[in-house]
Amino acid sequence: MVTGVLPRSFTSAATRSTASGSVSTVRMTSTSFMTGAGLKKCTPTILVGRFVVTAMSVTDSDEVLVASTASARHTPSSVANTFRFSSRRSGTASMTRSQSARSAKSVDSVTRPRISRCASSVSLPRFTARPVDFSRWPRPRSSASWSTSMPTTARPPRASTSAMPAPMVPSPTTPTLLNEPPVMHRSLPERSGRANAGYDRDVRFGIFLLAARYPGQDDAAALARTTEAAVAAERAGFDDVWLAEHHFMSYGVIPSATLMAGHILGLTSRIHVGTAVSVLSDQHPVALAEQAAMLSLISGGRFRLGVGRGGPWRDLEVFGTGLRRYEEGFAESLDLLLAWLRSERLGWDGEHFSFREVPIVPRAAEPPPVSVACTSPATETAAAERGLPMILGMHVGDEEKAAAVARHGDPAAPHISAHLAQVAGTRDEAVRTLLAGMPRWLGPGLDGYVPVDDRPRPSRDPAGYTRRLCDLHPVGSPDDCAAALAATAERTGIRHFILLAEAAGSHGATLENIARLGEEILPRVRTALS
């Protein structure tokens, strides 16, 4: 293994002699930026198919670089190219990407981080670093979304009629070379340059988890049940898991959907994990964007970000964001979050947020896909203007969802439809199961919605609301559930469904429902919609 410290403006190559006297070439890959003295970080990385772990002391303004000798000499086709991509909202950015040789022994073009115990020490052999000569490298494969030119960004014009600030794009500089993009798992190959790139139009099924505290449970039990349900969903063949975020209520005991998503991503290997939703009115959009980028990077692209306005609840008082952020600041919060995810550097000058230009770290070469929870025409318009798909909740039926899709204006967008789902031998049996278990946790949970300004909140009968949900959603026999989901797809055009499977009110019933949905419902609906 070869390790060392280089200025951050270099991407590097190094050589060393092996015991046999032959010379091997190694690639240098930036793993972290650290300042200060002492042991700062252990950085496990896979390079050329092997584990590499470093732990070293660094000084200010240095960047740690790690490399490993390849199993075979690199060929001219196993080099890195510099690419440029652009966003209509956030200017340009750059990255490096490797094009591997076609031989079986070539360096892997994409690496994925893993967790390992860090080494207690590491030797520091010397090596020679040189600037990269871009002119000698082969041009990248053609693509509609890529260009080989270097970024020459300028501050975009700012329309005087717009209420949203234009991002402050840096002046032309030498581009920062970024790590290779992680492995991305997709159901369909077609990609899009739109804001919803990262989604596809294949039929998708997810599990929607509130993490409600059942009567007699404590929060630890509710969180453990939620984690087990997510792992069971991957085993049952679901495509994704979506986590709700709530504060100060038993309706859901996950205060940070991104934190829980990271935990579940670490326990799974295939399934995608999303937030439904992270509440923008409660937190700074830059903090949320940083978390989303990091989760996308460490999971190999399996993270999906759902955001929402939230409600006029006491969260706004506790977190200090205030009612004005909820009522007037959602559009700016959403613009700032999107600009951060798509930029290399960013400054902001808006009504609710203002800061000088800073570098964006960590930065995902391909940002996680973003969806917006929509419960009003105003939020539908905000999502549509930014090319974002909607998440439509359980409180409305197919007609209301079809109307929301029509108002949004893009029926082909990968919108998401949330449903209550309970499978049993018959519809009567499924309804009885829900009426016996759901009101017991739903009633105390809904009582947790307390307005910040003491405005009246309509009360809702838990049993009546449960019965209404049973009428709207796939509840019943396998045939009943499959037919209901297929009908929703036909009426709304939506092909991505997330199913609340924990409503029966017990741990065992939740796991059984997930297993039956995966075995008896998903294959039928996929066949019907294929």
Query: Half-sphere exposure (CA, 13 Å, Cβ side) for 372?
Result: 32
Distance CA 301, CA 434 (A): 35
Average pLDDT over residues 45-64: 32
Using DSSP's 3-state secondary structure scheme, residue 307 falls into: strand
DSSP notation for 184-251: ---SSS---SSTTBTB-SS-EEEEEE-----TT--HHHHHHHHHHHHHHHHHHT-SEEEE---SSSTT
Architecture of domain 204-528: Alpha-Beta Barrel (3.20)
Checking if the pLDDT of 528 tops 70, the result is yes
Query: Half-sphere exposure (CA, 13 Å, Cβ side) for 243?
Result: 30
Checking if the pLDDT of 365 tops 50, the result is yes
pLDDT tens per residue across span 8-52 = 333 333 333 334 443 333 333 333 333 333 333 333 333 333 333
Rg of the chain over CA atoms, in angstroms? Answer: 25
Return the closest-CA partner of residue 1 out of 20, 21, 28: 28
pLDDT range class, residue 81, cuts 50, 70, 90: very low
* Least confident span in 81-90, 199-208, 509-518: 81-90
Is the peptide bond between 113 and the residue preceding it cis, with omega within 30 degrees of 0?
Answer: no
- DSSP run (H or E) holding 325: helix 322-328
Residue 459: its pLDDT value, please?
A: 83
- DSSP run (H or E) holding 275: strand 272-275
Q: 208 vs 53, 238, 257, 500, CA distance in Å?
A: 37, 11, 12, 5
| Buried-state track 230-253, b at ≥16 Cβ within 10 A, e below 16 | bbbbbebbbbbbbbbbbbebbbbb
Q: 454 vs 218, 313, 314, 450, CA distance in Å?
A: 29, 9, 9, 8
Checking if the pLDDT of 95 tops 90, the result is no
Checking if the pLDDT of 91 tops 60, the result is no
Average pLDDT over residues 145-174: 37
pLDDT range class, residue 152, cuts 50, 70, 90: very low
Pairwise pLDDT comparison (186 vs 486), residue with the higher score:
486
Distance CA 13, CA 177 (A): 14
pLDDT tens per residue across span 460-494 = 899 999 999 999 999 999 999 999 999 999 999 99
DSSP 313: B
Pairwise pLDDT comparison (454 vs 354), residue with the higher score:
354
Quickly count helices (H) and strands (E) in the chain.
13, 24
Checking if the pLDDT of 87 tops 70, the result is no
Residue 410 burial class via C-beta count within 10 angstroms: exposed 0-12, middle 13-18, buried 19 and up = middle
* Least confident span in 38-52, 212-226, 494-508: 38-52
Residue 202: its pLDDT value, please?
A: 83
Residue 461: its pLDDT value, please?
A: 94
Distance CA 302, CA 488 (A): 26
